[in-house]
Structure 1
């Protein structure tokens, strides 16, 4: 039962003579709240709920019951699920009940949980049956049925064949998997014996793959004896290392990022633990962003990140977010965003284009709001979207200058090719790229001239016009054009033109007057002798 100390105290008018009293209410009674202070009892916190006020919650150990027992906003998130018991419940919270027990052969649970057979009985087909072989370790065929001890499967399966031995599948099996002994005399001990697979090999240890495996990863013990303990043991990867903690990359990682606890012991709590919590939930409607709590649900009237700002008023987190209800946050205001559904989504008495929030926004039907009027915006779909009897580019008022598809723009009522190097007839006039008079530029270093591609950049080592000729070798386009500083194309080759700059401008390995291209051209005389002319011998005279 749960006591509330303030809600009914005092019913002064009715019970003034007796003073205040505290009623006892059922444990599952839900009390609404806005802050922890609204919850009367110590240790009770206010948990947020989407679209509703919060509710008072007192944290207890999480169990598998479809409830949020530890008040972390998640159901049945058990830190270290217990082993399944035979009790009609889902103890390990895997959605199955009593799945580890065979009611057909288990003498302790024959036909169902808690239905044990007597010591002189065995479980056959879910029913207890009198055993003939009463001693499965004496080497004698006690019931004279031709089989003795564990070989007498009907009587001895799952029965003891000694203090540390159990009959399994007609033979002796290892029953104790942590004593270092070959209990069933098959030359294999403990986890190395397949009988021990998935059986306990001690506290926090289970046999898996014929090896000891660490299963409890928060007890500071090397449970499997491999020299590594807890999260430093590779067996623990992905396993719980305590409340709100998971073993990850041979270390501890925070998994509960909204419980005000340093769960992984790195002196960083919740969202401040950026390595683990960045982008993770810090509670209902809250996510960790840049080391701090951030509002993620912006239309529930709850201050989810605890910064005293709710919904759109939390501009740092909510500005520009679509709220999923036909509105979005603009600044600190909730505005209309679904402008074609005929609804007044933001409650200002105006719907669609009549709401100034919608000006310039798409309506989702090939139109957009311009002022208070829907106008054509999809200018390529061959539809008269705004019902003005004009379609696509022919709707000059609405579509002029707008795209009419890939590589196409509406211009003066017609489609115009704008992408002129994609080998596509983008405007549907049966002309492609430079063959279309709409085209001017055909790409980097390329210009459309008289309906064909022309190389204009002759110094980039690229075949810009796609004629398999590059730079000066493209004599038709590049002859006499610059091939770079101090260089001009001449007869299909680079020619030096600057003969006094100390640079091999045409890349032929010769500088200035030493380059035959410079003969007769201006140069600088050695020793500061002033300006001269390159002679045929390579000197500057």
Structure 2
């Protein structure tokens, strides 16, 4: 509960000699302030509210996505700057791909804003759009009428060809009229002017399913299941179909159809299987945070609140794929046993988004730090380096077991699981866990001083026993 400020109390005193009664108010009551001193409480700051408005008393906590100003800086949901990337492994910082920044989404989830992911197809623009380390692959600026000599230089498709990187006026303007239009002795596909020009396959056709290739008629539609020329071969079996589309999510490769869209739920090439079940999709992306491995979709991003592979569960709940993987874009969180586990316990952040930050989270119980402190199993951080003459936990200068200014934990506290302090001396308090809890190289009954004869212990066969005078358990 909160009470009115001392300023209000003083006003009442000025008006009444009977004394000052300060009523209690609900915890979520806002108090106006100009400085932190107006709030009159340790750890409470005066948070700004905007130009021309007084601030309000606020206790800073870690900023999360909840539509509130948790860290009391006057901004809602302004998460600590952290980079993020949801594209396939190995593509970040390649070509045009780059990481983004973690921000809050409209539904309260964390999203990656500003990232650039690989394009589904390469464009001729001087940029590595699909982030595979190659630029403008698949485009031949020597013969491509849409990119003749350079990207974006377009020849007139009706009257021009691209020859050696330059637009050249075609003599043969019609490639399917059975006429030598320019009178050079060659007509239609037999004329080099018609190279790579589409045409109807035979008189009476309306669709241009053929193309002039190598002075002959070739297949232009490589995914319709029809021998369009005809020459006895269909679609990807045709030489001219190599590298061309055989339909949505399908490309002709080595004379067969190959699935290239591995996350759309379709058997794009009509063979072997759908998406990751198709060997064509091995190690290919099956969507954001998803990779085809072992003929199945595998979740690779375990921190975005999305069931990326559509199976087993979301993030850490996907124990098959996410166990042991990072569950926070900012770090300090690891998936373990189907749950997010806090692994960094001294950064002031609730890294796993549950149970609290640092020592307040049970994941951090008994974690020790290089600064001479330890998280206890009660959620507090205490001094455990009790012989270095330092105030390790920063509690008003109280240090080690110095007379008159000793640290209470060093005098009589905990030094870890199964370990306690007695005037800065460590003592083993659990004698049946087969652990050297006080770090004196003696374990359980072998630590005769702390685990004397008669103390409960665990035998080598796992049965209960008692410590013997010789330091054994029987």
In the alignment, what sits opposite 1:209? 254
Matches within 5 A, 1:35-184: 35-38=64-67, 47-49=79-81, 64=97, 66-68=99-101, 76=115, 78=117, 81-87=119-125, 89-118=127-156, 119-138=158-177, 142-143=181-182, 148-153=187-192, 155-162=193-200, 163-184=208-229
In the alignment, what sits opposite 1:501? none
Cα pair distance change 1:47/1:291, threshold 3 Å: farther
Question: Whose relative contact order is higher, 1 or 2, with alpha carbons under 8 Å and at least 6 apart?
Answer: 2
Q: Per-residue CA shift, 1:104-125, capped at 9, x if unaligned?
A: 2211222333322122111123
Output the CA distance in 2 between the equivalents of 1:202 and 1:230: 15
Cα pair distance change 1:328/1:149, threshold 3 Å: farther
Output the CA distance in 2 between the equivalents of 1:259 and 1:294: 15
Cα pair distance change 1:297/1:158, threshold 3 Å: farther
Output the CA distance in 2 between the equivalents of 1:252 and 1:85: 28
Greater Rg by CA: 1
Given candidates 260, 271, 274, the residue that maps to 1:229 is 274
Query: Could you say what secondary structure the match of 1:276 adopts?
Result: helix
- CA deviation after TM superposition for structure 1 residue 177, in Å: 0.6
Kindly report the root-mean-square deviation, in angstroms, between the aligned alpha carbons of the 2 structures. Answer: 4.8
Output the CA distance in 2 between the equivalents of 1:114 and 1:347: 65
- CA deviation after TM superposition for structure 1 residue 223, in Å: 2.2
Cα pair distance change 1:289/1:73, threshold 3 Å: farther
Q: Per-residue CA shift, 1:331-385, capped at 9, x if unaligned?
A: 4659999xxxxxx999999xxxxxxxxxxxxxxxxxxxxxxxxxxxxxxxxxxxx
- Structure 1: unaligned runs, 5 residues or longer: 1-6, 15-31, 56-61, 338-343, 350-541
Question: Is the 8 Å Cα contact of residues 312 and 334 (structure 1) preserved in structure 2?
Answer: no
Query: Could you say what secondary structure the match of 2:321 adopts?
Result: helix
Output the CA distance in 1 between the equivalents of 2:230 and 2:273: 30
Name which of structure 1's ranges 327-336 and 176-185 shifts more when overlaid on structure 2: 327-336
Cα pair distance change 1:175/1:46, threshold 3 Å: farther
* TM-score, normalization by structure 2: 0.52
Cα pair distance change 1:335/1:74, threshold 3 Å: farther
Cα pair distance change 1:73/1:33, threshold 3 Å: farther
Question: Is the 8 Å Cα contact of residues 89 and 98 (structure 1) preserved in structure 2?
Answer: yes
Question: Is the 8 Å Cα contact of residues 312 and 320 (structure 2) preserved in structure 1?
Answer: no
Output the CA distance in 2 between the equivalents of 1:148 and 1:156: 9
Output the CA distance in 2 between the equivalents of 1:329 and 1:209: 63
* TM-score, normalization by structure 1: 0.47
Output the CA distance in 2 between the equivalents of 1:112 and 1:194: 26
Question: Is the 8 Å Cα contact of residues 76 and 93 (structure 1) preserved in structure 2?
Answer: no
In the alignment, what sits opposite 1:34? 63
Q: Per-residue CA shift, 1:39-71, capped at 9, x if unaligned?
A: 68xxx9665546xxx99xxxxxx9956535895
In the alignment, what sits opposite 2:335? 288
Query: Could you say what secondary structure the match of 1:294 adopts?
Result: strand
Output the CA distance in 1 between the equivalents of 2:130 and 2:355: 40
Cα pair distance change 1:159/1:327, threshold 3 Å: farther
Cα pair distance change 1:160/1:266, threshold 3 Å: closer
Query: Could you say what secondary structure the match of 1:37 adopts?
Result: coil
- CA deviation after TM superposition for structure 1 residue 140, in Å: 5.3
In the alignment, what sits opposite 2:22? none
In the alignment, what sits opposite 2:352? 305
